[in-house]
Amino acid sequence: MIVKLSEIPRLDMHEWRGTCRHGRLAALTLWQGELLAVLVRPEGLVVRATRVEEEYPSLTPDLPSAQALERALFEEHGLRPVGHPWLKPLRRLRDGGQFYRVRGPQVHEVAVGPVHAGVIEPGHFRFQCNGEHVLHLEIALGYQHRGVERALVGGPSRRSIHYAETAAGDSSIAHATCYSELCEELAGVQASRRARAVRMVALELERLANHVGDLGALAGDVAFLPTASWCGRLRGAYLNLTAELCGNRFGRGLVRSGGVSVDLERIPALDTIRRDTQGAVEVLLANSWVRARFEDTGRLSLETARELGLVGPAARACGLPLDVRHELPQEDLPRPALCTAEGGDVMARALVRWQEVQASLDFLQQLELPSGELSREVGALAPAHLAVCLVEGWRGAVCHLAVTDDEGRFGRYQIVDPSMFNWPGLALAMRGQEISDFPLCNKSFNLSYCGHDL
């Protein structure tokens, strides 16, 4: 979606706050004294602006999904949301951070991380526990803050696409597609149908590799070895399909502004890998010991999911039919089916992943690649415009927003990874659970640290 800066509807603060409640908040940014909210509504993306000085009444009390976005703005630009219930730094931790504490004779605190036992990213988890029961979990991130958004300002440059591809390494295709579509919109071109179809193939392969890997990791967390081993191998097989397509297992170098760098001659044969995946996952989901662990663990209600603005499989597992591929569809291309589940527990999140694996495989096996050129020339970007692009990555809606200055350079670039909305979901899913189930719940969300920290 692209709009000229001067044509964005300006509202007074009261009206603006009201309008933010209609639709799903996707991004919030500050540009030249104006606060810009991007909302996903049934009719499409809308942007609404309001003038602010140094502070404004916080959205969070009425709209909890805004909490991280407001904290980020406060941290980056000093814009204070008055009335924000927990206005602590989002990414720049000071003095080890502040945490809520529960006091009582039986209550104890467990601190996990930022250095973890496995080879994973750094993040700090602070549990308030009564015995094995978790009363409250607070998650402190920011250990990987590396200034991606700031580095993109002044672009696009030759480096920009690489920043996008590495914003969250396991979602390279999603972020690179988002960045490229944004540039294309700002330059007034559209990639050919073929190029967009190749991007979709790569995006679905990325989804397949990660979903299958996650199902295996979920099995590993409950010590169910067969599926853990098989899915570990199959994840590699899916990554190798991406490597066969473009030479890199994570799809780096494939998606570029204007199109794709490599053509796909035909969709690879998926019958064998599909049969193997089906075998591995069905053994897992049919095992009653596994079901006993997955069911009723880490339950999130539909209401909570909606309030927190959850996206992706985590939201769909609560019954929310949110999927950018269907909310903002590319009309001239087919798309995989929308998959939802009920219950919002680990089982539901596993089921949604499995359904999506099947839907992606169906999509890939039925897709006929349209014809068209590989890449189109992307010229100079339109000055003084705002563009927003959303792509449904495997973890949920990846959102990129750019505001160009008068010379057509990025004056502001914001990346909203799905993890931004979903981390609080994990914290709430842990309430009243056993602390020993945390790794399982964590894996069922499998959120990105670097995508959040940027």
Partner 1 sequence: MSLVLAALLSPLLLGIITRVKAWFAGRRGAPLLQPYHDLLRLVQKGAVYSHTTTWVFKLAPSVCLACSLGAAALLPSRALPTLLLACSLLALQRFWMVLAALDTGSSFEGMGASREVHFSALAELGLLFSLAVSLSQQQPSLLVGLALFIVVLAESARVPVDDPNTHLELTMVHEVMILDHSGPDLAYMTWAAAIKLWVLGALAASLLSPGLSLLELMGVQIGLALAIGVVESSVARLRLLRISELLATASALAALALLLQTRGS
Closer CB to partner 1, 71 or 293, in the complex = 293
Closer CB to partner 1, 234 or 245, in the complex = 234
Size of site (CB under 8 A) for partner 1: 32
Span of 25-33, 112-120, 197-205, 375-383 interacting with partner 1 by CB under 8 A? 112-120
CA distance 90 to 75: 7
Closer CB to partner 1, 199 or 235, in the complex = 235
Rule CB under 8 A: choose which of 437, 447, 452, 453 binds partner 1.
Answer: 437
Contacts for 323-332 with beta carbons within 8 Å, 24 or more apart? 323/392, 324/40, 324/390, 324/391, 324/392, 324/397, 325/392, 327/40, 327/42, 327/390, 328/40, 328/44, 328/45, 328/390, 330/196, 332/193
Span of 8-16, 20-28, 225-233, 259-267 interacting with partner 1 by CB under 8 A? 225-233
Closer CB to partner 1, 49 or 228, in the complex = 228
**Segment 125-154, which members bind partner 1 (CB under 8 A)?**
131-132
Closer CB to partner 1, 413 or 445, in the complex = 445
Rule CB under 8 A: choose which of 19, 130, 166, 229 binds partner 1.
Answer: 229
Radius of gyration of the CA atoms of the chain, in A: 22
Span of 29-37, 56-64, 93-101, 108-116 interacting with partner 1 by CB under 8 A? 108-116
Asked if 37 and 28 touch (Cβ cutoff 8 Å), the reply is yes
CA distance 95 to 67: 21
Closest CA to 284 of 235, 228, 237: 228
CA distance 165 to 178: 10
CA distance 359 to 207: 11
Closer CB to partner 1, 22 or 233, in the complex = 233
DSSP state of 10: B
Rule CB under 8 A: choose which of 35, 228, 281, 390 binds partner 1.
Answer: 228
Rule CB under 8 A: choose which of 49, 205, 222, 420 binds partner 1.
Answer: 222
The residue type of 315 is A
Q: Is residue 118 at the binding interface for partner 1, with CB under 8 A as the rule?
A: yes
Asked if 111 and 125 touch (Cβ cutoff 8 Å), the reply is yes
Task: Read off the tokens for 186.
Answer: 């700002």
Asked if 305 and 417 touch (Cβ cutoff 8 Å), the reply is no
Query: Which residues have CB under 8 Å from 405's CB, separation 6+?
Result: 383, 384, 411
Q: Is residue 392 at the binding interface for partner 1, with CB under 8 A as the rule?
A: no
Rule CB under 8 A: choose which of 336, 418, 439, 451 binds partner 1.
Answer: 439
Closer CB to partner 1, 108 or 275, in the complex = 108
Q: Is residue 272 at the binding interface for partner 1, with CB under 8 A as the rule?
A: no
Q: Is residue 169 at the binding interface for partner 1, with CB under 8 A as the rule?
A: no
Closer CB to partner 1, 306 or 431, in the complex = 431
Span of 223-231, 307-315, 382-390, 400-408 interacting with partner 1 by CB under 8 A? 223-231
Query: Smallest gap, in angstroms, from Cβ of residue 129 to partner 1?
Result: 9
Dihedral (CA of 394, 235, 287, 446) sign: negative
CA distance 107 to 64: 27
Span of 13-21, 58-66, 394-402, 438-446 interacting with partner 1 by CB under 8 A? 438-446
**Segment 275-314, which members bind partner 1 (CB under 8 A)?**
287, 289-290, 292-293, 297
DSSP state of 159: T
Q: Is residue 226 at the binding interface for partner 1, with CB under 8 A as the rule?
A: yes
Closer CB to partner 1, 213 or 411, in the complex = 213
The residue type of 183 is C
Interface with partner 1 (CB under 8 A): 108-112, 117-118, 131-132, 219, 221-226, 228-230, 287, 289-290, 292-293, 297, 434-440
